[in-house]
Structure 1
Amino acid sequence: MRFGFKTSQQNTTWADMLAVWREADDIEIFESGWNFDHFYPIFSDSTGPCLEGWITLTALAQATRRLRMGTLVTGIHYRHPAVLANMVSTLDIVSDGRLELGIGAGWNEEESGAYGLELGSVRDRSDRFEEACEVLVGLLSQETTTFQGKFYELAEARNEPKGPQRPHPPICIGGSGEKRTLRTTARFAQHWNFVGGTPEEFARKRDVLHAHCADIGRDPREITLSSHVRLGEDGAFGPVVDQIAGLAAEGLDLAIVYLPTPHTPKILAPLAEALAPLA
């Protein structure tokens, strides 16, 4: 079992979040750090403070030396995929090849509506997401990309310079939609993130993903399987360890521990000690 951690940029300070990442960078059991891509806090008071995800991640790349990193996940409708591809390549360079590209179809109606960003129907989100994946892969791996779809059109578009990871940074798709999201994951992703839940729920989604892989002749072992595992505000490690053990029995590769706010680096060493028997 491998381990990562996640800090959300809501209801926290830059100094506290930075301290967590710097501490984690020195604790070997944590292979990756993640943030989220929202403009409003989620699952709490949405009027509170929330730092932007990609700017934050770029700063964290300069403050760390070892951790792999990514947003978990970027709603694709927040940025045109051509703009996002340029951001990805640049941050892959800035981080010395430590970036993972976390993307999803988008879901947050409140912030989308407030900013005038069209979220669309569930079908539109899935169609747009699939197009965006094609655009991103093209721009991140090819000299030029020409694409004509319902949502995006590109004409011999370039993205230079590209990052050190080839053919492109690993793509992590977050979501559990069985008909579309997991099918798109089978086509494009090197990493699938389960938002979190019981081992039984994870196993069902895993089997659906593997069936989509079989349909297109892809080896499912090429796709890392991860899950959020939430550490409660009480800081109790027992439930986290038990949940990870259950998910591991169903084939989980990477447990990403979602840290509570307010962030504190003091929690990381005892958390690492609690996770060590599962490694």
Structure 2
Amino acid sequence: MAKPNYYAPQGGLPEQTRLLTDRAVFTNAYAIIPKGVQQDIVTSFLPFWEKTRLWVLSRPLSGFAETFSQYIMEVAPGGGSQKPEIDPAAEAVLFVVAGELSLTIEGTVHTMAQGGYAFIPPDTNWTAQNSGTDAVRFHWIRKAYEKVDGIDFPPAFVTNEQDIAPSPMPKTEGKWATTRFVDPEDMRYDMHVTIVTFEPGAVIPFAETHVMEHGLYVLEGKAVYHLNQDWVEVEAGDYMWLRAFCPQACYAGGPGKFRYLLYKDVNRHMKLGTGSAVAGPR
């Protein structure tokens, strides 16, 4: 597999002469955060992280996407955290797009280069450090784990997308494929974070409409995406945030592959309101 060329934000600030017109949009069904939005003045900071800033791409919002948050972390040399997660119920996926991250999980050290992927279950002792000479940038996807009686917590693991063969979609001759890091039928996992790849000209040939919420960060290439009733152009560095049931489809534009990091919530019953309880027989 050829070495990927993921997009990672660099920050900065546009010139005063630049036009304000952009592709950023927030609707009641989806949001588009173009790569040009990831500037210095929209960064955030977190407790117990040193020499670190981040771009928040999504967060739970009532009436919109409610299950997850997604950050792009930027850790300068010598930076990191000995206490990165303060919520014991939170699980995480880390995906490195630039630089090298030293990740320690329950005392075991893992060196994560570009394409490195880590799953961290809830209530896990982990730390993250940048021991290199360049900034490391990685996605951090967080979700409150939904425990089910009789099903164990999933284990922590670290891998690299270069070590996993993509699974082609049926009847696509490999032009549409998904890199899956866990078994889709493993009920221990309540979220999937995958990489979807389209060859130039490949399509999602129908408007997907489903219960899963989505975060889609474009790693490489460009495409035209159909979201709800709109067609939008997206390119490497753009982020799409989709509410449940938002219709979605795409055409990959070329000349290279179109690839994105995809989050979705899976494998759990739909939560019912507290007022839906029914009394048993008298």
TM over 0.5: no
Report 1 or 2 for greater relative contact order, CA contacts < 8 Å, sequence distance ≥ 6: 1
Give the strand-richer structure, 1 or 2: 2
Q: What TM-score do the two structures reach when normalised by structure 2?
A: 0.33
- Larger CA Rg, structure 1 vs 2: 2
Q: What TM-score do the two structures reach when normalised by structure 1?
A: 0.33
Give the helix-richer structure, 1 or 2: 1
